[in-house]
């Protein structure tokens, strides 16, 4: 947990004192990860088992939603937050961005004019 708190504190120091006030972190005191080894939540990219263990813990955590929202709001690039890996969080953020874009057409296909015809 110490590494996770240090990472959050690092984020806070980068964001600065004005921006920090916008992120409620009171949920951290109720998190189940505070009782686990922090390395479980910051696994090596190739450590699928370690990420699964973190996700299992997050699945039982009463503040997983708040944790995930914090990670999405601060653009956290590392670790399992709220039961989601960095790739999963990136996908959630992209989906949210696409949904909030005006006139977003999800059925748009790339132009085929750049592709040579197949003979």
C-alpha–C-alpha distance, residues 94 and 115, integer Å: 27
| Inter-axis angle of helices 48-59 and 64-73, nearest 10 | 120
The response to whether 63 counts as a known ligand-binding position is no
The response to whether 51 counts as a known ligand-binding position is no
The response to whether 69 counts as a known ligand-binding position is no
The response to whether 61 counts as a known ligand-binding position is yes
Alpha helices in 16-103 (DSSP H): 17-20, 48-59, 64-73, 86-100
C-alpha–C-alpha distance, residues 34 and 4, integer Å: 9
Indicate the annotated binding residues.
33, 58, 61, 67
Indicate the annotated binding residues for [4Fe-4S] cluster.
33, 58, 61, 67
């Amino acid at each position: 947990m110490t590494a996770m708190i240090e990472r959050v504190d690092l984020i806070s120091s980068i964001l600065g004192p004005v921006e920090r006030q916008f992120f409620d972190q009171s949920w951290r005191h109720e998190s189940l990860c505070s009782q686990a080894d922090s390395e479980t939540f910051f696994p090596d990219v190739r450590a699928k088992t370690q990420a699964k263990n973190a996700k299992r813990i997050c699945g039982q955590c009463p503040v997983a939603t708040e944790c995930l929202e914090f990670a999405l709001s601060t653009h956290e690039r590392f670790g399992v937050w709220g039961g989601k890996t960095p790739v999963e969080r990136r996908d959630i953020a992209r989906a949210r961005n696409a949904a909030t874009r005006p006139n977003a057409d999800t059925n748009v296909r790339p132009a085929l004019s750049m592709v040579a015809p197949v003979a």
